[in-house]
Structure 1
Amino acid sequence: MLKKEYATALHYAKLAKENIPYLMKAGVSQDGIDTLEQYVQTMENEMKPQKFENDYSDLFLKLLNEASRLYKMKHFSECHKMLNQLYAETKENSMRFGQILGTKGNAYLQEGLYKEAIDSFERAKGFFHNVKDIERKEAANYLMTVLNGICLALDGLGQTDKAIALLEHEIELEELTQANEHKWNLIITLCNRLIKDNQDTIQYKDTFFCKILNYLDQVDNQENLSHEIRGVLYSSYGSLYCVTEKYEESKRYYELAEKEFLLINSPNMKKVEQMLNVIKRQLQK
C-alpha cells in the first residue's frame, strides 16, 4: 500500500475508533472492535518513518561490509565502483559519508596507493568531525581508524616523521577531560608508535623515555577508564620498560594489563601472554 493510501486508511480507521460507543450500540461485536483497534495500531506502526530508515541503515552497512570484503580479496575496481555508487546515492549524512570514504581509504591503502588513501582519509576525517552530537562517540572510534590509516599511508611514503607529527597535532587539538576517550587512544597510539620506531635507541630515563612516560601518565591519571583502555595503557607501559630492559617493571605492567583484559575477555589477551613469556625468559637468564 502506498504511503498516501496508508494515511487515508489510518484517518478513517481513527474516526471509527473514536466512535466505538456508537458502533457497539449499532451491534458491532467486541471482536470487531478489537480488530479495529489492532488495525489502527498496525497502520500507525507502518507509518513510522524510522522503519524505512532502519531498513536503509541495514542495507547501507551490508553494502559497506561487502565493499570491505572486496578490497580484502583484492577486487579493488569492484570495491571502488560500489563505494562510488553508495556515495552518490547517500543523502546528506556526515557519518555515512565518513564511513564510505574511510573504507575507500582502506582500499587504496591495500593497493599501495598511499596519496589517494591519505586524500580519502582526510575527507573522511572532515565528515567525522561534523557529525551530530548523538553520533560523536561512535565517530571518535572511526576517527582513530582514519588517523591510523593516514599514519600507515605516510609510513608507506617513507614519511614516518609526519605520522608522528600528525598524532601530536591531533592530541593538542583535543581537550583532556574524563569523557575524552578519543584523546586517550591518540596518546596511547602515539606512545606505541614512538616505542616501536625507536626501540633500539631508547634508554631508561633519558629524555625520550621520559617524554613517553609523561604521555602515558596523563592517561593513567584519568578516572573511570574502561578495562580495554586501561589494559592497552598498561601494555604500553610494559612495552616501554621492556625495550629499556627493565624486565621486572615490564612484567608488573603486563600482569596488570592481563587482569584488565581477563575481565572483558579481550582479544588483546593473547599478545599480553606472549609478551609475559618473553619477559619471563629474559628474567631467567
Structure 2
Amino acid sequence: MASYLLSYDSDSEDERIIALIQHLEDDDDEVESELVPRSRIYIPRNREEARENIWKDYFSDTPVFPPYKFKRRFRMRIELFLRISQVISNFDSHDTPEHFRFFRERFDAIGRPTFTILQKMTSALRQLAYGTAADMFDEYLKMSEQTSILCLDNFCKCIITLYKERYMRSPNAYDVQRLYSKHEEKHYFKGMLGSIDCMHWEWKNCPVALKGQYTRGDHKKPTIMLEAVASYDLWIWHAFFRMAGSNNDINVLNQSYVFDKLKKGTSSLAPFEVNGNQYTKGYYLAGGIYPD
C-alpha cells in the first residue's frame, strides 16, 4: 500500500483518497475469493450399513460381542442402555424439547432414513466413555464430526431432564433413613451416610504451563481430582470435580460444597443412637487423612 501511494502523482487530495479506497476494496475482493471454498465436499457415508453392523455386533439375538464386552465399551449394561433409549424415544409432553426430538428417526431431503437412536446414543456414550474426539468413530458409525457433537450435547440434555430430580440431588430425610438402615445392615455402622474419598484422573493433554500445579510427587503424570460420596447401591449423589492434582483430600474438602448445608444449618435432621449417645447428623466413612 505504501508503494502504491508513493507511485500516485495526483495533486488532488480527494482523488488520492478515492483511489486509495478503491485499491483497498480490490485487495479485499481478492482475499475473500481465496478464502471462501468454491464447493462443499460431500462424503458418501453409508449409514444404513453402519446401522446393520451395530445391530449385529451388540443388539441382535445372537450378537457378535457378548454382554461383558458391551459393558466394558459402553460403561453400562446393555439392559440399562436399552431402557434409557426407550425412555428417550417414548418421551412425550405438551411441548417436547428439541433434544428429545433429535433422537427420533426421520428422513432426509432425498428420502433416506436418518441415524437411529442406537447409533446416536452409541456415539454419545463412546465419547463419554473414552474422552475421544467427535470424529473418532466416523469409520464405524459413518457419522460426521458435527453430528457426533450434536449427539453428545442432546444426550446429556436428555439425561439431565429425565433424571435430575431423582439422582442429581442430595439425600432427603427419607433417603437418609434408608441409607442408615442399609449401611447398618451391610456394614454394621449406625448413622453412616456413605463413603467419601478423592481419586486422581490422569489429564493426558494437560498444557505444559499447567503441569506444575496438576502434578504431585506420588503421581508421575498430571491429574485432576474428583471428590465423590457413594452409597451402598452406588448412588453417587455428590461429585466435586475440578481441583488440581497437586492437592490432597483435605484441600479438596475445604473447597467442595459437600458440607455447605451442614455449615449453614439447613441440613435435614436425622438422629441416631450409638452406645447410648444421641446424634442429630449422620457421618461419612473416610480414610485416615480426613479430620474427625
* TM value normalised by structure 2: 0.29
Richer in strand (by share) = 2
Richer in helix (by share) = 1
| Larger RCO (CA within 8 A; separation ≥ 6) | 2
Question: Which of structures 1 and 2 has the bigger CA Rg?
Answer: 2
* TM value normalised by structure 1: 0.30
